Amino acid sequence: MSCAWTEGTLETYASGLLSWHVYCDTKSIPEVQRAPASPVLVTSFLASMAGLFSNKTLHNYVHGVRAWHILHGSAWNMNEGELKTMLKAAEKLTPVSSRRKKRQPYTPEFMTAVKHQLNLDAPLDAAVFACLTTCFYAAARLGEFTVRRLDAFDPVLHVTPASLSTSRNREGDELTVLHLPRTKVSVQGEDVYWAKQDGDTDPVTALIHHRQLNSPPENGHLFAYHHNKGHRPLTKTKFLERVGTAARAAGLEPLQGHGIRIGATLEYLLRGVPFDVMKAKGRWASDAFHLYLTKHAQILAPYMQATPRVQDAFTRYIVPRVR
């Protein structure tokens, strides 16, 4: 049953479970009353942290306790309506210091500036830039292209050179296809794809250069780079550290990793890629994709003009189909 959750989720839940037991210890709650826990105990646990942590943190903490119950066959007796109300209240009480800053999007201009601060003849920098541009134009999650720790690489779970292929349509347009062995939403894996681009951020050129310089093993990590006498997989931490250093050297504020996928979505939409096509490319399964339409005014700009030249297309997308 523990395999139902990803490694990252289990680590997050473990933090919540630790907080749960610390709380119960301070209140002298007997072990037998901690699972199954009474609704009063769970709500008091949440209330004790409301105003101290963000709503997202509390949401993860309580779901960690819930997962612990499920895993050990203990009944979860919470009233879902009551729990939802508690979390809503916690959101309103979230201190400003705990609120997450709006994630700024990566742009081709930002990546170009970063590139000029990297030494692409250095193994690490070549791997980082190839990962950055590939992830951006594939509109992928950074965690799908990097590993969590140096010892965490597994060819069954992570991208390898063997996962790469090319595809052409009837008009001869070529795409590079990368099979992700496993993702957050699919244990069977998914395909991501991208095409050659003009300018300094072409992912095809960057990836070819990286592979020529670093020669990652066919069944090794795709973005592995030469280190000492062997290869080292590219970790998410090392990637963000190197990109952040390059950004600061260019006089820019470092961006969060999730900003890559956000920036890719914005870039393609601003190029005129249809909303439904971008939703499919970005593998958006929920209506969370609509947040991109409302949070970034430049996307909506063409639809707000006096002459609504693309109004029909936008209306067809956002208005539910008539049955």
Is 94 a residue whose pLDDT tops 70? yes
- Alpha-carbon gap, residue 42 to 205, rounded angstroms: 54
218 in Cβ contact with 162 (< 8 Å)? yes
Predicted confidence (pLDDT) at residue 229 exceeds the cutoff of 60: yes
Percent of the chain with pLDDT strictly greater than 90? 50
More confident residue, 257 or 204: 204
Q: What is the CATH number of domain 2-98?
A: 1.10.150
pLDDT reported for residue 268 = 86
pTM of the model: 0.73
pLDDT value of position 258: 82
Mean pLDDT on 288-294: 61
pLDDT tens per residue, range 99-157:
555 567 899 999 999 999 999 999 999 999 999 999 999 999 999 999 999 998 989 88
At residue 313 the predicted structure's pLDDT band, cuts being 50, 70 and 90, is: low
Contacts of 50 (CB under 8 A, 6+ apart): 58, 86, 89, 90, 93
The whole-number pLDDT of residue 123 equals 97
| DSSP sequence for 262-312 | HHHHHHHHHTT--HHHHHHHTT--SGGGGHHHHH-HHHHGGGSSSS-TTHH
Q: pLDDT for 231-276, tens place per residue?
A: 999 999 999 999 999 999 999 998 888 889 888 888 888 887 877 7
Domain locations along the chain: 2-98, 101-323
Q: Is the pLDDT of residue 189 over 90?
A: no
Q: How far apart are the first and last CA of the chain?
A: 41
Place 37 in a pLDDT band, splitting at 50, 70 and 90.
very high
pLDDT band at 308 (very low <50, low <70, confident <90, very high): low
pLDDT of res. 316:
54
Higher-pLDDT residue of 158, 288:
158
| CATH fold for the domain made of 101-323 | hpI Integrase; Chain A (1.10.443)
Q: Which pLDDT does position 236 carry in this prediction?
A: 94
